[in-house]
Amino acid sequence: MGKRLPIFPYINFSEANLMIEITTFAFMIDQGTIERIMDAADIVETVQDFVVLKRRGVNYLGNCPFHNEKTPSFTVSPAKQIYKCFGCGKGGGSVNFIMEHEHLSYVDALRYLAKKFHVEIVEKEEDPADAEQRNRRESMLIVSDFARDYFSNYLLNEPEGRNIGLSYFRERGMRDDIIRKFQLGFCPDHKDQFTRAALKQGYRMEFLEETGLSIKRDDWIRDRFAGRVIFPFHNLAGRVIAFGGRILVSDPKQAKYLNSPESEIYHKSKVLYGIFYAKNAISRSDKCYLVEGYTDVLSMHQAGIENVVASSGTSLTVEQIRLIKRFTSNITIIYDGDQAGIKASLRGIDMVLEEGVNVKVVPLPDGEDPDSFARSMSATDLLAYINAHETDFIRFKTRMLLNESENDPVVKARLIIDVVKSIAVIPDNITRSVYIKECSKMLDVAEDILYTEVRKIKYKITEEQIVREKREALRESTQSSQRPVSVPLAANPCVTEEKALLRIMLRYFNNDLFKVENEETGQEEMVKVGSYVLSELEADNLSSVDPVIQLIFDELREHEHESLFNPERHFVQHENTQVSSLVSGLLVDKHIESVIWKRKGAFVEDEHEILFVIVPKLIEEYKLRHVKLLISALMGKISGLSSSDMEKILEYQAVITNLKRVEKELSKKLGRRAITS
């Protein structure tokens, strides 16, 4: 009997040192609970928390969150309860999606979905070592939750927090509802007050250090954010993963802004401040406003504009752009009014264009930033200003550089190259040609000259990309993998036949195939599809060279006699992501055609009605492929032997002769003419 436990770990106090062990008792989720979680976890609802999906017929389509793609190929099927990207190949069910996207283990992904879909967890005992490893990431998140609550409470309820931190926010015009919404806080301006409070509550120093909340040296400990107002960073799921802190006194020895260091739960290049609070508004409006700092985001939210995120003072990264692109392909960058700020921001825009995102810019009046500008007017006036001054990036850049050229032909030539470089990285041909036409007029340069320059730049970009990919492939080839890796298509000559067999097995594993007479009883018995295929493979000792495909065959054999076994569900939600991706691809494709149907020019719509024809044919195709491979291999061996090896040659030729008979018989069954010469 399983024991009920709360979804999240609890705190185990140690009286000896008042330090906390943030652990989950060593329990595993029982199978019944897993089934309930999978029943409740709707794939569309799961994926929509992280990806903007648009209905396309019976399915949904969006930009893949796992790779950089120019055209959406990420498909979600509510009928099959699976997702599949036809670009990178990833696929699976709700559990697999959360594992991949949130970098969680299989068990933690189940817990995540259980919480989301309100399924009570029932667990059973598991190995303590596995539990310790699984809880490390969750422990860091729990420590971050404690810090968020501590800083927020200190800001709102402690005299120092109210007099210094809260006063600062109110002087900046921040309302209390915005302060509470973004969970702003204040860290005491004392050496280690926060750390001592955390230790007193039992939190382990190990996790305080790893999250960067505390800094420990041999003989001293101090709070990283002492004396700073606090801005928590949230991931897409709303969990606190890091903090930003602003100092409130003038001190040239200290940075004005300080962020948490990189950790297992926080990678600054992949995070945007405010994305959790903005994602729904970005999706609804199909537009994202990009600003620089925390307070810019807060002021715009306060003005009623919620589809806004900040790069938090760091240079814009590809990962951040792709994070936005999950929700929209339209970004409007709101610059500070000074020219230096505009020029600095321009340098990162080519990277945005390269991702296939539409970019507009809104330069603010001199001396203004989004924070001050948003606080100076109503939401209506702010939106009216943005709409009136929103300018396409290429046009904006061209006009700005033209103003700087002052009719100097040398300077103008440089700016033309600069503008063309930005146009060249745009992936869409039509968009690129429109920009070339417009820039030709603005720059007074013939279109064919601009096209020539674009081609030169694109050729150079392609060459550089090839070099990078070769280096990456070489690097990956030297690293050993920790799990079975599917072999390349060329290395698995039977991949077509094996995929056709797998698809049939996944869909019709427990379907009746035909009746046979039991040799012992003389009675007729019904043979199932799965049992027939597995027995045929076993009889001829046939296996796949692809470890992922073979793993699926092996697990099908384990469940061969379970009448309620559902292979589609089992493998789509498989903890091995390569298994779930492969299976999802087989199930999403309208039909995985075998070479039989290709040769005959037929397409079977109602295949379940003629399984007794299809399944034996697929087996014969698979066997024929193996026979041909064996013949080819033996002939290769013969060609490598000399006349002194005549005995071995004759032995191989005898085997080849027998294989040729088998080949001829199989070809006859399949309706082909076997070449026996």
What backbone torsions phi and psi does residue 491 show, to the nearest 5 degrees?
A: -85, -10
Percent of the chain with pLDDT over 90: 17
199 within a domain of the structure (yes/no): yes
Element (DSSP H or E) covering residue 94: helix 94-102
Q: Which of 399-403, 445-449, 484-488, 531-535 has the highest mean pLDDT?
A: 531-535
Report residue 307: phi and psi, to 5°: -85, 60
Distances in Å between the Cα of 504 and the Cα atoms of 128, 578, 669 are 40, 19, 20
What pLDDT is attached to residue 18? 29
| Lowest model confidence (mean pLDDT) among 145-159, 225-239, 500-514, 651-665 | 651-665
Q: How many domains does the chain have?
A: 3
Q: Give the contacts of 334 (CB within 8 A, at least 6 positions apart).
A: 289, 290, 291, 296, 361, 362, 364, 370, 386
Q: How confident is the model at residue 25, as a pLDDT? A: 35
Confirm if 52 and 60 have CB atoms less than 8 A apart: no
> pLDDT-based confidence at 187, cuts 50/70/90?
very high
Is 674 part of any domain? no
pLDDT score of 464 more than 80: no
pLDDT of residue 180: 94
pLDDT interval class at 375 (50, 70, 90) = confident
With respect to residue 641, please indicate whether it lies within any of the assigned structural domains. Answer: yes
List, in order, residues 6 or more apart from 618 with CB less than 8 Å away.
Answer: 497, 500, 501, 504, 533, 594, 596
- Nearest to 93, CA basis, from 21, 156, 34: 34
Residues 6+ apart with CB under 8 A from 168: 229, 248
Residue 141 and residue 121 share a domain: no
Among 529, 574, 534, which residue's Cα sits nearest to residue 553?
A: 534
Closest CA to 331 of 389, 289, 273: 289
Q: Are 238 and 194 in contact (CB under 8 A)?
A: no
Output the domain CATH number for residue 235.
Answer: 3.90.980.10
Q: Which of the two residues, 448 and 153, has the higher pLDDT score?
A: 153
Could you count the other beta carbons within 10 Å of the beta carbon of residue 616? 17
Read off the pLDDT of residues 615-637 as tens digits, 9 standing for 90 and up: 888 888 888 888 888 888 878 77
* Gap between the Cα atoms of 582 and 317, Å rounded: 31
Domain boundary among 125, 150, 177: 125
Q: Which residue has the higher pLDDT, 86 or 125?
A: 86
pLDDT at residue number 672: 57
Instruction: Please report the pLDDT score of residue 674 as a whole number.
Output: 45
Q: How far apart are CA 260 and CA 93, in angstroms?
A: 34
Asked whether the predicted pLDDT for residue 573 surpasses 80, the reply is yes
Q: Which residue has the higher pLDDT, 395 or 338?
A: 395
Q: Which of 143, 175, 341 is nearest to 242 (CA)?
A: 143
pLDDT in tens, 150-168: 999 999 999 999 999 999 9
Residues 245, 229 contacting (CB under 8 angstroms): yes
Q: Last residue of a domain, which of 237, 266, 295?
A: 266
Of 397-406, 423-432, 465-474, which gets the smallest average pLDDT? 465-474
Same domain, 174 and 105: no
Banded model confidence at residue 7, pLDDT cuts 50, 70, 90: very low
Q: State how far the Cα of 105 lies from the Cα of 111, in Å rounded to an integer.
A: 10
H or E element in which residue 168 lies: helix 167-171
Degrees (nearest 5) of the Cα angle 174, 175, 181? Answer: 100
Instruction: Give the angle 268-273-277 at the CA atoms, nearest 5°.
Output: 135
Asked whether residue 185 is assigned to any structural domain, the reply reads: yes
Same domain, 102 and 184: no
The verdict on 568 and 610 lying in the same domain is: yes
Out of 243, 266, 289, a domain closes at 266
Instruction: Determine the pLDDT at residue 126.
Output: 54
Q: What is the pLDDT of residue 593?
A: 46
Starting from the edge strand earliest in sequence, which strands make up the sheet with 257-259, in order? 185-186, 228-234, 240-247, 257-259
**Residue 28: per-residue pLDDT:** 65
Q: What does residue 10 show for φ and ψ, rounded to 5 degrees?
A: -120, 175
Cα–Cα distance measured from residue 119 to residue 111, given in angstroms and rounded to the nearest whole number: 9
Name the helix (H) or strand (E) containing 233: strand 228-234
CATH number at residue 76: 3.90.580.10
- pTM: predicted TM-score of the whole model, two decimal places: 0.58
Predicted confidence band at 301 (pLDDT cuts at 50, 70, 90)? very high
Looking at the structure, tell me whether residues 511 and 577 fall in a common domain: yes
Does a structural domain hold residue 64? yes
Please, which pLDDT band fits residue 513 given cuts at 50, 70 and 90?
confident
Q: Are residues 579 and 603 in the same domain?
A: yes
Residue 332's H or E segment, with its range, is strand 330-335
> Can you tell me whether residue 646 is helix, strand or coil?
helix
Per the domain annotation, does 157 fall within a domain? yes
Helix (H) or strand (E) segment spanning residue 427: none
Higher-pLDDT residue of 4 and 513 is: 513
Same domain, 38 and 145: no
Model confidence pLDDT, tens digit, residues 189-242:
988 999 999 999 989 999 999 999 999 887 889 999 999 999 999 988 788 999
More confident residue, 274 or 18: 274
**Nearest-5° Cα angle at 150, 144 to 153:** 140
Provide the residue range defining the domain that includes 655: 489-669
- Going by C-alpha positions, the residue among 235, 160, 163, 218 that lies closest to residue 194 is 160
Residues 112 and 245 in one domain: no
* 659 and 540 fall within a common domain: yes
Angle subtended at Cα 29 by Cα 48 and Cα 234, rounded to the nearest 5 degrees: 40
Residues 120 and 140 in one domain: no
Considering 326-335, 404-413, 482-491, 516-525, the range whose residues carry the highest mean pLDDT is: 326-335
What pLDDT, in 10s, does the model give residues 80-95?
A: 788 988 888 888 888 8
Answer with the residue of higher pLDDT: 586 or 18.
586
DSSP state of 52: -
Position 3 in a domain: no
Residue type, 472: E
Q: Looking at the structure, do residues 92 and 194 belong to the same domain, yes or no?
A: no
Within a domain: residue 478?
no
Using CA atoms, how far apart are residues 291 and 83, in angstroms rounded to an integer?
Answer: 33
Is residue 183 pLDDT above 90, yes or no? yes
Residue 314, C-beta contacts closer than 8 angstroms, at least 6 positions apart: 268, 269
At 269, the amino acid letter reads S
Mean pLDDT, the chain, integer:
79
Residue 521: partners with Cβ closer than 8 Å, 6 or more residues away? none
Minimum mean pLDDT among 60-74, 205-219, 650-664: which range?
A: 650-664
- Pair 80, 202 in one domain: no
Map residue 242 onto helix, strand or coil: strand
